[in-house]
Chain A
Amino acid sequence: MGHARPLATSRSATGIPTGRLAVWWILASEVVIFGGLLGVYIMHRIGHPEWAEAASHTQTWVGAINTFVLLTSSFTAVLAHQAAEKGDGKKAAKLLGMTILGALTFLVIKSLEWTNEISHGYTITANTFWSFYYTAAGLHALHVIAGAIIMGVVAFDAYRGRELHRVELIGIYWHFVDVVWIFLFPLLYIAK
């Protein structure tokens, strides 16, 4: 059954579109989730200098490649937004498709990396550094997956010229996912 869009949704007492407002509030709640997790990790890391040994087994270059992949996918998300602004839904959808491709590449690299690490015995229970490593990166990967799925829906609509404003919203979310990784990468990989 079709859903009525209430009058409330079209109002904008603040002058900011409701969708954008909602995305910023979602990001605010995400910031405290990741902030809490990373804050705890940093406190533990300072309290346990011996974790540097465990951290030295992470593969920095793999993380670096993934950073590059995510940054590139954010760039195509920006281009998609520009296309949507111009009303070119088809182009926006194609660019979002490239962003999804970036997300999938990121996930494939990640799973290869994890398979390799687990085969060397660095499992989530190996020690608490690895517990943090898998928990933080895993939570981030869940966001990548969720973002890719939503992007697929948005691209599907955009291709048909519908709901073009959502291209910007998913773009904002995607930049956030990117920024989280930019915090994770040095904390989990580079700090040895």
Chain B
Amino acid sequence: MIDLIQASTYAADIDNLITLLAVLTGFWFLAAEGVFFWLIWKFREKPGQKSQYLVGKEKHVKRWITIPHALVLVCDVFIIVGAVQVWYNVKQHLPEADSTIRITGQQWAWTFQHPGADNELDTADDIFTVEDLHVEVDKVYHFKLESRDVLHDFSVPVFRIKQDAVPGRSITGWFEANQTGEFDIQCAEICGIGHGIMAGRIHIEDANTHAAWISSASAATSP
């Protein structure tokens, strides 16, 4: 298995949900396949032995279907509760932002608008970058996701976050990185012949490094 770093606050929640799913579905999968192969072995053709005539209407026979059937429903309830909880936390609920960025997809590059030194988006000191997103660790970021042409999808696998960018809309989401490092940003929605080169990198920095980056980037862009 490929180990993937959990670099956001909700990455572990999503991974735990996946583990829950793996356990529940894995149980049913193994049980069903086990019974299946056992039956194939047990009732293989034997000379002189006729098959049994079972209609499957008697209550005590039907039990073998109805009980597992009810248990599947119970498992479904657990999965739904887990899935909705995680979903609510990641997508529906928006914690207070420490900072807001704008992410714009276009064929075939990501443009990132950082709020700059005043931490306000859409002001004169905003820092625009292409392909490189700089964020500070342990801070809640809101992102405003937009697209200039076709559908794109902002995906950071180490965050476990993914969101389509739709032209004509600005979609707000959030993330909070919990460790520093440099990771992939992928476009996860086919966007034309350059879809495979639409890569980006996210740089998660501690407070000092991030502040240093802001001042150096501001110096570079200001006239």
Direct A–B contact in complex, judged by CB atoms less than 8 Å apart: no
| A residues neighboring B (CB under 8 Å) | none
